[in-house]
Structure 1
Amino acid sequence: MIDQYKHQQLRIGSVSPQQMSAWAKRILPNGETIGEVTSPYTFCYNSDKPVIGGLFCERIFGPIKSGICACGNYREIRDKKENPKFCEQCGVEFVDSRIRRYQMGYIKLACPVTHVWYLKRLPSYIANLLDKPLKELEDLVYCDCLFARPVVKKPTFLRLRGSFKYEIQSWKYSIPLFFTTPRFDTFRNREISTGAGAIREQLADLDLRIIIDYSLVEWKELGEEGPKDNEWKDRKIRRRKDFLVRRMQLAKHLIQTNIEPEWMVLCLLPVLPPDLRPSIQIGGGKQISSDINELYKRVILRNNALINILNTGRYAPSDLVMSQEKLIQEAVDTLLDDGIRGQPMRDGHNKVYKSFSDLIQGKEGRFRETLLGKRVDYSGRSVIVVGPSLSLHRCGLPHEIAIELFQTFVIRGLIRQHFASSIVVAKSQIREKEPIVWEILREVMRGHPVLLNRAPTLHRLGIQAFQPILVEGRAISLHPLVCKGFNADFDGDQMAVHVPLSMEAQAEARLLMFSHMNLLSPAIGDPISVPTQDMLIGLYILTSGNRRGICSNRYNLCSRRNHQNERIYHNNYKYKKEEGPFFCNSYDAIGAYRQKRIHLDNPLWLRWRLDQQPISAREAPVEVHYESLGTYHEIYGHYLIVRSIKKGIRCIYIRTTVGHISFYREIEEAIQGFFRACS
C-alpha cells in the first residue's frame, strides 16, 4: 500500500516485468511463493468459497474476513506468540481483510502480448520508435504476416536453395524432406518470427540515444534542402520533419523516466485486487460480477489453452499456435480497452463490457469521480440561486450547510463563552438549534471566508472566495455578476463550498481569491464581471424614461397655474407645456412612487445642488417662462434654471425619472462604500 505521508505524488507509466512480479508475488512463512493466477474460476458452486488459484483466491489476495482463513479457523491478527502467521492447511495468512483492496496478482502469459495503448492509440508510440507504418505492425502483432530475422553465418533457406541451384530434380525431391525434418522447428524459430514477440525483439534492439542522434541529423538534412517546386513533396517533407520531432521527444521522455521500449510488450499481465472488481451474491443463488472478471476469465482460458498446446510437444502445428497467440492478443486488448479495434465485445444481453480503460477514464472514472471528485471534510454542495441584494464579495449559505461547515468553530465558541461545559453539551445545543448557536455562528462566519467552486474548474476564476452570510432556504445565494467567471447560470447548477482552515489558506483567499479582486479575465484582460440578461433588462427599465417632450407634464407647485399653449421650435420639434411634478430631493420622489402618485418612467423635475451646475456655456435655453413676480424659468434640454429679477440663480431642477434616481443612488452608495472600505 502507498504511504500517503512518504509519497506526495503519483506517477503513471510503464513498469518492467520484474517490478510487476515484485508487486504481485509474496512468500509465505513456509517459503512457498504465491501470486500467479492460474484458474479462470471465481467461486465454487457448492461451497461459495473462492477457488484456489482463481481470481478471488484467498491465498493470493488475502482472507475475505479479517483473521479467518479459508478453513474457518480464527486467529488474532496481532498475536505475538510463536504460532505461524498462516494456516498450514489452506495456506491463507491471518491478516486484515483490507489487504484484498491493494494486493495484486499476475498472469504469466504463454506468449508476449503488445499493450494496445502503445500500439493503437494515436500517435502510436511503437510505430514512432520503430519508424514503421501502423498497418504493418498490426499485421505482425495479430500474426497476419511474418518477420524475417537477420541471421549471419548460419544455414538459411536461401543458402539451402543456392546449394541446389543447378540440380532442379534434387531440389524438387529434397525440399519436402527438409520441411518434414525434426529440426525444421529450429530453423523456423531462428529465422521467422511473428506476433508480439517479433515487436519485442525489435524494441529491445533499439538504442534511444542513437535514435535521437539519427533523427536530429535527418531533420537537419531535410531543413537544408529548402522548398521544392512540387507542393506534394513539400508537404511530405513537413510531415516527415514533424514525425522526427515527435520521435525525438518520445525517446527523450523514455530516457528521462527510465522506461525501456520493450516494456510496451507484456509478458506478465497484472490482476487487479478483488475489492476493485467485486463479485456480489444476491438472492436465488445469483451472482453479480464486475465485467473485468469476465474479461480476465477470457484471457486465462485462452492462455491455458496455449500452454496445453505447447506442452503437447514440439510437433504442434504452427498455424494452431499462431492462431491461439492471436486469440490471446485479442483477449488482452479487450481487457485493456474494449472496442479500440472495432466492434466491442458484448455479453449475453447485448451489453458492452466495461474494460479497464472505461473504469479509469471519463467523468465517472476512477480518477475524476473517486480520487479527484471525492467529498472532503469541511465542504458542502447545493444548488445556486440569485441573490440580488448581496454584495459582490458576499454569498448566502443556508443554515443547514453553515452549521455543518462551521460546527467545530461553533463548539469552540460555545465552550469559550461558557454557554456549554463540554463538547457533548455543545453538540446537544446545536442539535436543538438554540438561538445562541446562530449568534455564535454569525460571529464565526463574520471573520471566516469560504471558497465556492463550480465543476469543471477550467481556469482560476472557477474557484473564488466569498464572505458568507446566513440565508433562508436550502440553496446557496450568489451575486449575478460573478456567474460569468464560474460559467454558471441559475437553471439548476450546483456549486461546492469549502472552508479554508489554516491561516495561510485564509490569507490567500482574502488577498488573491476574493471575487472583487478578480474583475478582469486573466486570459485576455477583458472585464469578467459584466451585467447580462436580467440585469440588462432591469437597467433598461430603470433608465428608459418617457422622453416625449422637454416640457411634458410641467407643473409648478408654487403658482399652480396651467399653461396649455404650444410652441414649434426652429428644428420642427413640438413641445407641450403641461403640469409636471417638482421635487425638492430624491427621497420625496421615491416616496411619491411608492405611494403610486407617479410611475417609474414618468418625467419629473428634481431640485439640484447649486455647486453642481449642469450648465453648458454654449447651450441656449429652449424656452424661457416669465412669472408675474419678475422671476423667470430658463428651460434647457435636460434641466431648468429659476432666476431672480437680478438674473441670479435661485435654484436648479434637472429632468429625470424615478428609475434614474434609484439607479444613481445605488451607484453613489457603492462608491461611498468603496471609499469607506479603502479608508
Structure 2
Amino acid sequence: MVKEQFRETDVAKKISHICFGMKSAEQMRKQAHIQVVSKNLYSQDNKRTPLPYGVLDHRMGTSEKDRPCLTCGKNLADCLGHYGYLDLELPCFHVGYFKAVIGILQMICKTCSSIMLTKEDKQQFMDYLKRPNLAYLQKRGLKKKISDKCRKRTICLNCGAFNGSVKKCGLLKIIHEKYKTTKKVVEPFVSDFLQSFDIAIEHNKLMEPLLPRAQENLNPLVVLNLFRRIPAEDIPLLLMNPEAGKPADLIITRLLVPPLCIRPSVVSDLKSGTNEDDLTMKLTEIIFLNDVIKKHRMTGAKTQMIMEDWDFLQLQCALYINSELSGIPLNMAPKKWTRGFVQRLKGKQGRFRGNLSGKRVDFSGRTVISPDPNLRIDEVAVPVHVAKILTYPEKVNKANLELMRKLVRNGPDVHPGANFIQTRHTQIKRFLKYGNREKIAQELRIGDVVERHLIDGDIVLFNRQPSLHKLSIMAHIAKVKPHRTFRFNECVCTPYNADFDGDEMNLHLPQTEEAKAEALVLMGTKANLVTPRNGEPLIAAIQDFLTGAYLLTLKDTFFDRSKACQIVASILVGKDEKIRISLPRPAIIKPIALWTGKQIFSVILKPSKDCPVNANLRTKGKQYCGKGEDLCHNDS
C-alpha cells in the first residue's frame, strides 16, 4: 500500500482576486430571515412594541441596549443584524444599473432577446474573450466594439424583427424608436403599423402628424421579460459573468431590508415617540405604494392609476438607493431631503472617508502654526494651555517619586502638574482637581501611574494635512512655551509643505516608552533630513537663513569684537554653549580690530582647535591672489 502524501491543511493562502456581483431574488430570500409585509411600525398599544413582519421587527436585529435580538438572542454590541426582504408588486429599474440596462437593450433584439451579431462575429468575439489575463481596459474596448456592431444592425438575424434606437427618456424611462424611420422607402412592418391607424385618422385628423414619432415604451416589466429570455451563450458577449449575476438581476423585483443596527430608532425625550431613520421611513413608503398597487390590480382600477402608482414606486426605490436624483418631476419631488445608501457611502462624511479612513484619537491637539528660528530643527514649541490638557501616564519609581509628588501637588491648573492618578491595585482614575492633593501626594507609591502634563523633552508627533508622503508626520521634542500657537524652525517647512498664512497642524503625544523611542529613532527630523524619493535634502536652510548667510559673508561686511562675539554666542547654544571659542586674527587691525563675515562663519563651523568637528576650512581656490587670506581682492 502506497503511503498517502502529507498535505499541510493549515497553510496561509493568498487571495487571487475578488469578484463583485449582483444578488438574485432567490439569493436575497435565502439570506433574509423574514419577509416584511406590514407598513405600520408599532402596535397600537401603549408599549409601542414593533409589529411582527414590519420594518422594525426585532428578528432583523436590535437597536436598543436592553432588548435582545429575537433571531440570535444576542445584545446590541454582539448582534451583527439580520436581513429581511420585501417583494415588489411590479418590477422597477435600479437607479444604479440604469445605464447598464440601456446598454444591454441596445445590444439585443427587442422581440426575441438574441444578441444582434452574426455567427461569425459571435465566434470571433468569444475567442477573444477566452484569452487569459485580459485587462480591464481591453474588456472595455471590446464591449464598445460589440455595442457599436449591434447598434448598426437594424434587422434581427434570429427572428427578422426591426430594431430601432433605444434611448433614455426622462427619469427612469426607456423608449424604443421602433417606428421612426428616415428612409424614403418605409419598412413593410412600419407601413403596416401606420395603416392600422387609418380608421382612427378619419375620426381625428390631429393624430396623423404624430404617427411618424410613435415610440415603444420599454417599462421594467417588458425589460425583465426580455432579459429573462436572453440565451445563456449570449451573456458573456454582454461582458457579464453569469456566476456573478444575470441580466435579469439588474431589474429590482425584491428589495433587501437592512438590519436594524444600521438604521436605529432614536427615542425622543422632548416628545413622546421615536425619531426613525430615513431608510426606515423610505421602506414604509415603498410598502405602502406596494399595497396600493396590489389593491388597484385586484379591484381592476384604471390602467392610468396603476401606471402613476408604478412610476411613484420606481421613484421611491430610486430615492431609497440614491436620494440626490436630478430630473424629478415637481409633482413627485420629495418635500424633505433624506439620506439614501449612496449618501451614506460617498463624500467626506461617508462610511469610507468618514469612518474607515478617517480617525479620531485622544491625546492630540490642533492649532495655528508660527515660525521660530530660535528653536532647533527637532523641536516644537507647545502652548502651555495645550500642555496642561495633553497627559502622559508616567509610572512612579524610586528615581521619580519626589518629582511625581510635586506634580500631583500642582494639580491640573498649574504647569507642570498632573490631571489624574491611578493606583497600582485599583484601576480607578482619580481626578486631581478635587480632593486633598497634599494627602494624595503623600500616599503615592511605587507602581502607581500619574498622568502628568506634557513637559519639556517629551517626544511628540507633528503632522500637517494632507499627509501625502511619510515626511508629513515626524517626531519632535516638545518645548513648552507661552502664547497660543505651535512654533517650529522654518527649515522644517519643506517636508510638511507648510507656510504661515493660517495653516493648522496636529500634535500627538505617544503614550508608552516604546512608542516614544520608536518615534524618535524612525520618525525624528534628524533621521529624515533627506527625502527617500531621490536623496535630495528636504530639511535645509531656506529663505531668510540663506539671505542672512549671504549678507553675513559679503566682501565688505565687517564686525567689531563685541558684534562678532555676540553673533557667535547667539548661534552656539544648547550643548555647544560650553565650547571654548578661539577668535582668529582680525582682518583689519588699525584703527580698530575688525573681523569679516567669512571669518565669523568659519568660527561657527569650527569654534576652536579642540572642537570635535573634523572639517578643513582652508583650501586654495582658483581666484586666490596670494596676498592675504582674508582680504583677497578677487573675493566676492
TM over 0.5: yes
- Paired residue for 1:656? 597
C-alpha distance after superposition, 1:182-214 (max 9, x if no partner) = xxxxxxxxxx983334445555667899777x6
- Paired residue for 1:385? 369
Query: 1:477 deviation in Å?
Result: 4.7
Equivalent-residue separation in structure 2 for 1:501 and 1:357 (angstroms): 41
The verdict on how the C-alpha distance between 1:271 and 1:506 changes in structure 2, with shifts beyond 3 A counting, is: farther
1:363 to 343, 348, 351: 348
Query: 1:502 deviation in Å?
Result: 10
- Paired residue for 2:256? 270
2:98 to 100, 105, 119: 119
Conserved in 2, the CA contact under 8 Å of 1:111 and 1:197? yes
| Paired positions, count | 480
C-alpha distance after superposition, 1:612-661 (max 9, x if no partner) = xxxxxxxxxxxxxxxxxxxxxxxxxxx94669xxxxxxx9954339xx95
Conserved in 2, the CA contact under 8 Å of 1:67 and 1:94? no
The verdict on how the C-alpha distance between 1:664 and 1:581 changes in structure 2, with shifts beyond 3 A counting, is: closer
Conserved in 1, the CA contact under 8 Å of 2:345 and 2:352? yes
1:20 to 28, 32, 37: 28
- Map of 1:235-634 to 2, 5 A cutoff? 258-280=244-266, 281-285=268-272, 288-312=275-299, 318-342=303-327, 351-376=336-361, 379-386=363-370, 388-395=373-380, 407-408=392-393, 410-411=394-395, 414=397, 422=424, 424=426, 451-462=461-472, 464-472=473-481, 477-490=487-500, 491=502, 493-495=504-506, 497=508, 499=510, 513-519=523-529, 528-529=538-539, 536-537=543-544, 540=547, 544=551, 550=556, 582-583=560-561, 586-587=564-565, 609=584
Conserved in 1, the CA contact under 8 Å of 2:531 and 2:537? yes
Equivalent-residue separation in structure 2 for 1:100 and 1:385 (angstroms): 45
Amino acid across the alignment from 2:355:
T
Equivalent-residue separation in structure 2 for 1:346 and 1:101 (angstroms): 39
Equivalent-residue separation in structure 1 for 2:273 and 2:345 (angstroms): 27
- Paired residue for 1:66? 66
Conserved in 1, the CA contact under 8 Å of 2:174 and 2:217? no
Amino acid across the alignment from 2:597:
T
- Map of 1:34-73 to 2, 5 A cutoff? 34-41=34-41, 44=44, 47-62=47-62, 64=64, 66-67=66-67
Conserved in 2, the CA contact under 8 Å of 1:113 and 1:265? yes
Gaps of 5+ in 2: 1-12, 107-139, 152-164, 179-187, 201-215, 405-422, 572-580, 616-636
Query: 1:664 deviation in Å?
Result: 7.5
Query: 1:331 deviation in Å?
Result: 0.9
Amino acid across the alignment from 2:470:
R
Equivalent-residue separation in structure 1 for 2:452 and 2:365 (angstroms): 19
SS of equivalent residue, structure 1 residue 96: coil
Equivalent-residue separation in structure 1 for 2:380 and 2:496 (angstroms): 14
C-alpha distance after superposition, 1:402-461 (max 9, x if no partner) = 7987745x23x5489788982559966988697999999799997x96544444433333
**Larger Rg, first or second structure (1 or 2):** 1
Aligned-pair identity in percent equals: 19
1:136 to 166, 174, 185: 166
The more displaced of 584-593 and 196-205 is 584-593
- Paired residue for 2:220? 196
SS of equivalent residue, structure 1 residue 116: coil
- Map of 1:201-216 to 2, 5 A cutoff? none
Amino acid across the alignment from 1:20:
M
Equivalent-residue separation in structure 2 for 1:344 and 1:493 (angstroms): 45
The verdict on how the C-alpha distance between 1:352 and 1:655 changes in structure 2, with shifts beyond 3 A counting, is: same
Conserved in 1, the CA contact under 8 Å of 2:93 and 2:172? no
The verdict on how the C-alpha distance between 1:304 and 1:426 changes in structure 2, with shifts beyond 3 A counting, is: closer
Conserved in 2, the CA contact under 8 Å of 1:380 and 1:401? no
Conserved in 2, the CA contact under 8 Å of 1:24 and 1:35? yes
Equivalent-residue separation in structure 1 for 2:104 and 2:490 (angstroms): 48
Which structure's relative contact order is higher, taking Cα pairs within 8 Å and 6+ residues apart?
2
Conserved in 1, the CA contact under 8 Å of 2:377 and 2:525? yes
Gaps of 5+ in 1: 1-5, 26-33, 70-85, 87-91, 149-157, 174-191, 215-246, 553-579, 594-605, 611-638, 644-650
Amino acid across the alignment from 2:258:
L
Conserved in 1, the CA contact under 8 Å of 2:61 and 2:261? no
The verdict on how the C-alpha distance between 1:539 and 1:546 changes in structure 2, with shifts beyond 3 A counting, is: closer
Conserved in 2, the CA contact under 8 Å of 1:119 and 1:126? no
Equivalent-residue separation in structure 1 for 2:314 and 2:341 (angstroms): 15
Query: 1:138 deviation in Å?
Result: 3.5
Equivalent-residue separation in structure 1 for 2:230 and 2:613 (angstroms): 67
Structure-1-length-normalised TM-score: 0.53
Equivalent-residue separation in structure 2 for 1:530 and 1:137 (angstroms): 62
SS of equivalent residue, structure 2 residue 97: helix
RMSD, aligned CA: 6.1
Equivalent-residue separation in structure 2 for 1:370 and 1:51 (angstroms): 32
Equivalent-residue separation in structure 1 for 2:519 and 2:104 (angstroms): 43
Equivalent-residue separation in structure 2 for 1:506 and 1:484 (angstroms): 24
The verdict on how the C-alpha distance between 1:348 and 1:583 changes in structure 2, with shifts beyond 3 A counting, is: same
Equivalent-residue separation in structure 2 for 1:450 and 1:296 (angstroms): 49
- Paired residue for 1:600? none
Equivalent-residue separation in structure 2 for 1:674 and 1:197 (angstroms): 86
Select the structure that is richer in helix. 1
The more displaced of 286-295 and 114-123 is 114-123
The verdict on how the C-alpha distance between 1:427 and 1:51 changes in structure 2, with shifts beyond 3 A counting, is: closer
Equivalent-residue separation in structure 1 for 2:461 and 2:233 (angstroms): 49
